[in-house]
């Protein structure tokens, strides 16, 4: 994988600038929308419920992904002039670690929200605070645990083909990496995807019987599948074939797709919720009135 020196193989200056621009747009969109979600939770008492705590956890994770994308966008734009990753080897490890934590927390938080909604709509009981807090703690502790393993020798963080962001190194496939990949993928992608699919499927069946199907039961699972599925396919492909058979440009596609997930999640879980939507407008109206009084 590319790290320093000239522009990475397979990319020209225009392509590096294009990738940096796309990452910048994705990062700013995700940061703005998820920051509004977090602000509305902090400022609106009606949103401080166990169910919305799970949405807050997702917004925090997606904010982390957007910050990771912002660093990648900055390094993409700097790479044209500096011809190297500007933050050094330790910066690459930190970038990969932080991005992996945020990504795993986002995937698992989506599954937690799916289960929480199933519990709410199918049992007609509010999610308890103890349950919600326990779910959030488990999500983040699990994410930190799996993200720390490459730093301890099970797996490895390295530059992606463009050399402007860092992730799991899939170019050096051995038994160590393969065992880590399959174990990690089962607990942090396939299992959360299964929980999300089953939860929304059961919830859909229940709500159709009562005639109150007012929740989008397909978008969350599709977001997980199409947002993170390309990464999963790329990693799994490298365990059975030589990654050099895939062009560097194509290898960057999963990263660009994954960085759209924070924006989609914010639209689905926050802007798509009437209560959160109302809370965001209350926060914006409060900020506007404070500015008017200051003037």
SS3 98: helix
CB atoms within 10 A of CB 13: 11
User: Would you say residue 1 lies in a domain?
Assistant: no
CB atoms within 10 A of CB 77: 18
User: Would you say residue 6 lies in a domain?
Assistant: no
Residue 148: its pLDDT value, please? 95
The predicted-structure confidence for 177-188, as pLDDT tens digits, reads as follows: 888 888 888 999
**pTM value?**
0.88
208: Cβ contacts below 8 Å, ≥ 6 apart: none
Burial 79-117 (b: 16+ CB within 10 A, else e): beeeebbebeeeebbbbbbbbbbbbbbbbbbbbbbbbbb
119: Cβ contacts below 8 Å, ≥ 6 apart: 125, 127
The predicted-structure confidence for 100-116, as pLDDT tens digits, reads as follows: 999 999 999 999 999 99
CATH number of the domain encompassing residue 110: 1.20.1070.10
User: Would you say residue 98 lies in a domain?
Assistant: yes
When the pLDDT of each residue in the chain is averaged and rounded to a whole number, the result is 84
User: Would you say residue 295 lies in a domain?
Assistant: no
Q: Give the rounded percent of residues in the chain with a pLDDT score beyond 90.
A: 40
User: Would you say residue 276 lies in a domain?
Assistant: yes
User: Would you say residue 3 lies in a domain?
Assistant: no
User: Would you say residue 60 lies in a domain?
Assistant: yes
Residue 203: its pLDDT value, please? 83
Quote the number of domains for the chain.
1
User: Would you say residue 4 lies in a domain?
Assistant: no
The whole domain housing 136 covers 13-289
The predicted-structure confidence for 275-295, as pLDDT tens digits, reads as follows: 666 666 666 665 554 544 555
The predicted-structure confidence for 41-94, as pLDDT tens digits, reads as follows: 887 777 788 988 999 999 999 999 999 999 999 888 776 665 567 788 889 999
The predicted-structure confidence for 120-132, as pLDDT tens digits, reads as follows: 877 777 889 999 9
Q: 163 phi and psi, to 5 degrees?
A: 75, 20
Query: Could you write out the DSSP letters of every residue in 148-204?
Result: HGGGGTSS-EEE-TTSSSEEE--SS--HHHHHHHHHHHIIIIIHHHHHHHHHHHHHH
Query: Could you write out the DSSP letters of every residue in 12-76?
Result: -HHHHHHHHHHHHHHHHHHHHHHHHHHHHHHH-GGG-SHHHHHHHHHHHHHHHHHHHHHHHHHHH
The predicted-structure confidence for 2-22, as pLDDT tens digits, reads as follows: 544 566 666 777 888 888 899
């Amino acid at each position: 994988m590319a790290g320093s020196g000239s522009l990475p193989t397979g990319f020209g200056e225009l392509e590096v600038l294009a990738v940096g621009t796309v990452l910048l747009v994705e990062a700013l969109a995700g940061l703005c929308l998820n920051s509004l979600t977090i602000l509305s939770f902090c400022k609106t008492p009606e949103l401080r419920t166990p169910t919305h705590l799970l949405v807050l956890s997702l917004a925090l994770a997606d904010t982390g992904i957007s910050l990771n994308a912002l660093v990648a966008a900055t390094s993409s734009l700097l790479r044209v002039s500096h011809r190297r990753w500007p933050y050094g080897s330790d910066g690459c490890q930190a970038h990969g670690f932080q991005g992996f934590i945020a990504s795993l927390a986002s995937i698992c938080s989506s599954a937690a929200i799916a289960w929480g909604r199933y519990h709410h709509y199918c049992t007609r009981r509010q999610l308890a605070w103890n349950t919600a807090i326990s779910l959030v703690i488990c999500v983040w502790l699990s994410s930190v645990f799996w993200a720390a393993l490459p730093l301890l020798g099970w797996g490895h963080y390295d530059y992606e083909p463009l050399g402007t962001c860092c992730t799991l190194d899939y170019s050096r496939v051995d038994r160590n990496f393969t065992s880590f990949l399959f174990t990690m993928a089962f607990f942090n992608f396939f299992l959360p995807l299964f929980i999300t699919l089953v939860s929304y499927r059961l919830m859909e069946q229940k709500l159709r019987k009562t005639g109150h199907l007012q929740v989008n039961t397909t978008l969350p699972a599709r977001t997980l599948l199409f947002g993170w599925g390309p990464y999963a396919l790329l990693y799994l492909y490298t365990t059975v074939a030589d990654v050099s058979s895939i062009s560097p440009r194509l290898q960057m596609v999963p990263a660009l797709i994954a960085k759209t997930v924070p924006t989609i999640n914010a639209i689905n879980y926050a802007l798509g919720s009437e209560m959160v939507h109302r809370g965001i407008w209350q926060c914006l109206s409060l900020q506007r009135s404070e500015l008017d009084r200051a003037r």
